[in-house]
Amino acid sequence: MATMTASEVRNGNVSFGDMKGKIVDFIIGTYATNGLAVDPHSFGLNTLQGVQIVGGNAASGKYQYAYDTVNKKLLVYRIGVVTGTVAAPTFTGDALAAHRHSLFVASGATDATGARVNAATNSLAMNNAAATVAGIAAASGTAGGVVDVTGGTPTGTNSAPAFTGGVAGPLTEVSNGVDLSLITVRLLGMGF
C-alpha cells in the first residue's frame, strides 16, 4: 500500500466546537489506484470526519484533489485530454502579379569577327565573354546574366487556424504508480 509522508504545520491546531483539527503537509509519493490512505494519527486524531485541501506547493497546482470519506483516502485527479485537429490557415486575396526575368548580356570587346553573340550549353556570350544564368545585375559590369524584376507583393488575408475537436474531458484519476513525489499538499484534518 502506498503511503504519504506527513509533517505538521507550525501553529496548525484548530478546533470546531467538539471536533479538533490540525493542518499537516503531505508529500504524495507514488500514487496508488483508488487513492492514498490518510492516517488520522497524522493529524493527532483517532477518527477522521473529513479532510479539506487548504494549499500546497507549486507542483500541486497541476492536479485536483478529493478526500474519499468512505475509504479514508486522498484521491488525485488530472484534467482530461483535449482531442482534435488544427486546420492550416487559408490565404484569400490576389495572387502575385505577373513578373519576368530579364536576360542581360554585357557588351564585350570586339574581336576579329566583330560584335557577336555566341550560344553554348547553359551559357550565352558576347564576343566570348560568358553570361551566366544566375541572377547577375546589369550594373555588375560582368558579362551579364538573368536579372530579377519584382512582381510586387500579394495582397489579401490569412484565416486564423481553426480547431476542430472536443473540450478537455472530465477529470480522470492519476494512474497507478505515477511518481508524485514533488507534490506537497496541505490538508486540514477534522475529527476526534
Assess if residue 27 is contained within a domain: yes
The predicted structure's pLDDT at residue 126 = 54
DSSP string, the chain: ----EEEEEEEEEEEETTEEEEEEEEEEEE--TT-EE--GGGGT-SSEEEEEEEEE-GGGGGSEEEEETTTTEEEEEEPPPP-EEEEPP-EEEEPPPP--EEEEE-----BTTBS-EEEETTEEEETTEEE-SSB--GGG-SSEEEEE------EEEEPPPEEEEPPP---EEPPTT-EEEEEEEEEEEEE-
The predicted structure's pLDDT at residue 134 = 45
The predicted structure's pLDDT at residue 6 = 85
Assess if residue 154 is contained within a domain: no
Among 9-23, 44-58, 91-105, where is mean pLDDT lowest?
A: 91-105
52 vs 185: CA distance, rounded Å: 10
Domain region containing 140? 99-149
Task: Based on the fold, state whether residues 46 and 78 are members of the same structural domain.
Answer: yes
The predicted structure's pLDDT at residue 164 = 85
Band of residue 57 on the pLDDT scale cut at 50, 70, 90: very high
Its pTM stands at 0.55
Task: Based on the fold, state whether residues 73 and 9 are members of the same structural domain.
Answer: yes
The predicted structure's pLDDT at residue 118 = 56
Task: Based on the fold, state whether residues 105 and 131 are members of the same structural domain.
Answer: yes
Q: Above 90 in pLDDT, residue 182?
A: yes
pLDDT (mean) for 57-71: 93
Longest Cα separation, the chain: 121
Assess if residue 156 is contained within a domain: no
Task: Based on the fold, state whether residues 77 and 106 are members of the same structural domain.
Answer: no
- Higher pLDDT, residue 76 or 141: 76
- pLDDT exceeding 70 applies to what percent of the chain? 69
Number of domains in the chain: 2
The predicted structure's pLDDT at residue 53 = 94
The predicted structure's pLDDT at residue 67 = 95
What are the pLDDT digits (tens) for 81-130?
778 888 888 888 877 766 655 555 555 555 555 555 555 655 555 554 44
The predicted structure's pLDDT at residue 108 = 52
